[in-house]
Amino acid sequence: MEKRSDTFVKKFSGRFLAWFKQNIGILIGLAALMAIVSLFSESFFTASNMWNILRQISTNALLAFGMTFVILIGGIDLSVGPLLAFSGVFAAYVMGNLGWPIWAAIAGSIILCSMVGMLNGVIVTKTGIAPFVVTLSVQQIFRGFAMLLANGAPIRIRDQGFINIGTTYIGPVAFPVIYMIIIMALCYVVLNKTQFGRHIYALGGNKTAARFAGIRTQRIEVMVYALSGFLAGIAGIVLAARMTAGVPATGDGYECDAIAAVVLGGASFTGGIGTIGGTLIGAIIIGVLNNGLNMLNVASFWQYVAKGVVILLAGMVDVLRKQARTREKRCPKKPPRRKSG
């Protein structure tokens, strides 16, 4: 038993150190950002505010986890914001107007969003239209559907059982934070412990080589976009429960926050590189930035400017990383020569 426990500790510590080294840059950036905000706000480093930040980022993190899978295959999904809104509006509508039970409303919303994600994947793989164009068009379509279904106004949710999904606490920990942690763990397992995850990395690294290796690349792409829609549906349910209403205007710009979190977390737009843990750190950076600016009473208009700068910096970092990897491939380090004699 002692040998097994020692082996487990060694494996865990080794993986943690590898993850820490991989994300050292973004962790330093997060620490620096938190230190700067704390200089201007004494209440920033309180336990209640830390839990509040985690609750605030839970929605973006769920979207970003799905976006991680999409970016890993070299794609993009701009439809997640409106899908989040549509999910909450649909659940509120069918419960309030059609009398659906909670479980049916939740299942229906998530299944519909998953099917829309699957449709994104099918169109991308079968027509060759760029993912940017496909998901941008779906973004506009489902923003319209959400507005039409709600008649442009929020639909109030009166079922307390549904509301409890997003407003219940266990001690200081809100349910949305628990959902975020559970889904992050599941996504980590899928990416690192399953054949599906290995195929995603292979597809993102070199699509042609993955196809020659026998990987059904189109099937993987469709499944990835379906997963992104699935997580957007879950995020929409949780957010609607928190807001006690299905609000068709929610989710505006959420896809940008999700993309920023993924790229800040070390993923590459070209695919094949990225981790779920890194994405979580990226989401925390976005959350700390929003929280800090709110605590400093900075106008919301400046918050858009700040997030835009962060996204631009994330893109620049991605380019620099790509250039560094290219140089390493062209000029690999030569092993040191052994001294004779």
* 199 pLDDT tier (thresholds 50, 70, 90): very high
**Residue 48 near residue 307, CB atoms below 8 Å:** no
Q: Say what percent of the chain tops pLDDT 90.
A: 63
Residue 27, amino acid = L
| pLDDT confidence bin for 9, thresholds 50/70/90 | low
pLDDT at 99: 92
Q: How far apart are CA 204 and CA 23, in angstroms?
A: 20
Average pLDDT over residues 63-79: 96
pLDDT (mean) for 231-257 = 94
Is residue 82 a contact partner of residue 251, using CB atoms and an 8 Å limit?
yes
Per-residue pLDDT tens over the stretch 89-130? 999 999 999 999 999 999 999 999 999 999 999 999 999 999
Read off the pLDDT of residues 284-293 as tens digits, 9 standing for 90 and up. 999 998 888 8
How large is the greatest C-alpha to C-alpha distance in the chain, in angstroms?
88
User: Please, how many CA atoms are within 13 Å of residue 100, restricted to the half-sphere of its CB?
Assistant: 18
Greater confidence, 126 or 315? 126
More confident residue, 2 or 77: 77
> Integer distance in angstroms from the first to the last C-alpha of the chain?
48
Q: Region 148-162: what's the mean pLDDT?
A: 94
For residue 338, the model assigns a pLDDT of: 56
Among 16-30, 87-101, 184-198, 287-301, the least confident range:
16-30
Of the CA atoms within 13 Å of residue 242, those in its CB half-sphere come to 18
Domains and their CATH numbers in the chain = 45-251 (1.10.3470.10)
Local confidence band at 341 (pLDDT 50, 70, 90 cut-offs): very low
Indicate the pLDDT class of residue 228, thresholds 50, 70 and 90: very high
Separation CA 280–CA 62 (nearest Å): 9
Distance CA 100, CA 93 (A): 9
What percentage of residues in the chain have a pLDDT greater than 70? 90
